[in-house]
Amino acid sequence: MKRVDEIICSLKKIIEVREKSLHEEGQDYFKCSLCRDRGLIFNGDVVRVCPCVKQHYLELRYQYANITPEIKDYSFESFRLDYYQGGYRKQASAALEGARQFVNDYLENQHTRGLLFTGDVGAGKTYLAGAIANSLLKKNVRVLFLVVPDFLDELRATYNKGNTGEGYEPDDVSLLRGVRQVDVLILDDLGVHNYTPWTCNKLYSLLNYRLNYQLPVIITTNLSLGQLDQFLGERTTSRIVQMCRIYEIHVTKDIRHQKNLYGLQNK
């Protein structure tokens, strides 16, 4: 077995050869001035991983999680209660605390119950779901953020490819596998959609799998539980109620409109 100093010496030689090659090719620009894109910082016989490596992996996690640049800025600290009046503020405060508590509970127990945020359009539901995603990603938790209508369209598209006669095979199984097994799944905008028996069955299968394996899901919807029954069916709604703690969030006026008027922050 090689000694540590021998390994360090070998790494240095490899890096020297690489940098010499880059210099000869005229590539003297480095994204990271600390490690010169090597990922390692050498200080005599001491080697440590450069902070840029951690940042790189965080960016990869965000990319895998399907987090948009806008959602990437969502946080519990910037969630404002200014938008909510009267009893609505109490509801929003409870939802915010529930979101924070979910993160804490999950870090202690990965099989904790998920959350369902239901209420008006523009009430801050997606904001809280995004804040949860960002908090967990910073703790190295695998998160996947899906906008339900977009996800169903993509799922349908992969299925249709298998029926074109061009030699494609349906890929919905592999797509669903990743969604089923991710640590924390966020389903945003589970609302009015062209739900066919096929899509309803896919949603049920997904939620039932995560329920059976105690994998949490965060759901946002503009629909009431009665409306979810109507559009998705009783058995799917039953799974959601079993899996999630429910928080209602309401506003007198869409927060996006309020933001334009008053320059506040929540989405």
Q: What is the mean pLDDT of each run of 10 residues along the chain (267 residues)?
A: 50 56 55 65 68 59 80 94 90 97 97 96 94 95 93 78 45 74 95 81 93 97 92 93 96 75 52
Domain ranges of the chain: 4-49, 68-262
How confident is the model at residue 170, as a pLDDT? Answer: 42
Per residue in 206-238, pLDDT tens? 999 999 999 999 999 999 999 999 999 999 999
How confident is the model at residue 168, as a pLDDT? Answer: 42
Per residue in 115-149, pLDDT tens? 999 998 889 999 999 999 999 999 989 999 999 99
How confident is the model at residue 251, as a pLDDT? Answer: 86
**With the CA atoms of 264, 138, 220 and 216 taken in that order, what torsion angle do they form, in degrees rounded to the nearest 10?**
-160
| Rama region for 201: left / alpha / beta (φ>0; ψ in -120 to 50; rest) | alpha
| Rama region for 122: left / alpha / beta (φ>0; ψ in -120 to 50; rest) | left
| Separation of alpha carbons 120 and 56, rounded Å | 37
Global confidence as pTM: 0.76
How confident is the model at residue 26, as a pLDDT? Answer: 53
Question: Which are the contacts of 83, defined by CB distance < 8 A and separation ≥ 6?
Answer: 92, 124, 251, 255, 258, 264, 266
Helix H segments across 25-78?
Answer: 51-65
Out of 3.30.1280.10, 3.30.565.10, 1.10.10.10, 3.40.50.300, select the CATH number for domain 68-262. 3.40.50.300
Helix H segments across the chain?
Answer: 4-24, 51-65, 87-108, 125-137, 148-161, 172-181, 197-212, 225-232, 234-243, 255-262
Contact assessment for residue 76 and residue 129, using Cβ atoms and an 8 Å cutoff:
no
How confident is the model at residue 176, as a pLDDT? Answer: 80
Q: What is the DSSP letter of 182?
A: S
